[in-house]
């Protein structure tokens, strides 16, 4: 449905009027989670003043929160792990896509819905900060039977080039030359 000529919903610009590119960049930055100053947030709020979301979009977001409760304002550790898995495998713009999706690593189709992933994997063991997703077969896909919640040390031992006889570095990325 198109708005009438005298609509004041805030979604439209006058004919020939261009959007301020600086506002567009700031809006994009805030949507991607970058920190923005209070002054910038005020400009973004002003840019969106009077705009309304489509009712079906509002309902879809509300339904998503009611469904599993993990994707609200503060996302659960399980939801963040699931989302990171999807980014690695499905988003060619993700920093580590080449190591996952670029190598052909895929996600079990049912797991594209968070509820199904959570039902199969369950919640992270405690302490939640100590565990992340690990594929048991590093060349296998993200699918039931090949994914587990694992500690960092378990994941390191699961690397193809892991050698338990090598000395451990004194700190991450150590270049002191004392280690094999």
Q: What are the tens digits of pLDDT across the range 122-132?
A: 999 987 788 99
Q: How far is CA 88 from the centre of its chain?
A: 9
Residue 134 CB partners (closer than 8 Å, separation 6+): 147, 148, 149, 150, 154, 155, 158
* pLDDT value for 151: 93
Q: How confident is the model at residue 163 (pLDDT cuts 50, 70, 90)?
A: low
Q: Which of 110, 112, 160 is nearest to 135 (CA)?
A: 160
Q: How confident is the model at residue 140 (pLDDT cuts 50, 70, 90)?
A: very high
| pLDDT higher than 70, residue 2 | no
% of the chain exceeding 70 in pLDDT: 54
Q: Please tell me the distance from the alpha carbon of residue 35 to that of residue 151, in angstroms, as a whole number.
A: 30
* pLDDT value for 87: 95
In this predicted model, what pLDDT tens digit does every residue of 7-36 receive, in sequence order? 555 455 555 666 566 555 555 555 556 666
- Tell me what the mean pLDDT of segment 83-94 comes to: 94
Residue 93 CB partners (closer than 8 Å, separation 6+): none
Burial of 142 (0-12, 13-18, 19+ CB in 10 A): buried
* pLDDT value for 1: 43
In this predicted model, what pLDDT tens digit does every residue of 34-65 receive, in sequence order? 666 777 767 766 666 666 667 776 676 666 55
Mean residue pLDDT of the chain comes to: 76
| pLDDT higher than 50, residue 160 | yes
């Amino acid at each position: 449905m198109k708005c009438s000529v005298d609509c004041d919903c805030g979604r439209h610009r006058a004919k020939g009027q261009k959007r301020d590119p600086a506002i567009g960049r700031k809006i994009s930055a805030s949507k991607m989670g970058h920190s923005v100053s209070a002054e910038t947030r005020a400009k973004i709020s002003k840019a969106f003043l009077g705009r309304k979301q489509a009712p079906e979009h509002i309902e879809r977001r509300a339904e998503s929160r009611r469904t599993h409760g993990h994707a609200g304002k503060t996302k659960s550790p399980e939801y963040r792990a699931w989302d990171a898995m999807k980014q690695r495998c499905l988003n060619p713009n993700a920093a580590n896509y080449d190591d996952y999706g670029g190598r052909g690593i895929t996600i079990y189709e049912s797991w594209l819905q968070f509820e199904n992933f959570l039902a199969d994997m369950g919640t992270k063991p405690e302490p939640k900060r100590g565990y992340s997703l690990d594929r048991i077969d590093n060349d296998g896909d993200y699918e039931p039977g090949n994914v587990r919640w694992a500690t960092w040390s378990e994941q390191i031992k699961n690397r193809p080039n892991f050698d338990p006889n090598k000395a451990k570095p004194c700190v991450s990325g150590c270049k002191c030359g004392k280690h094999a």
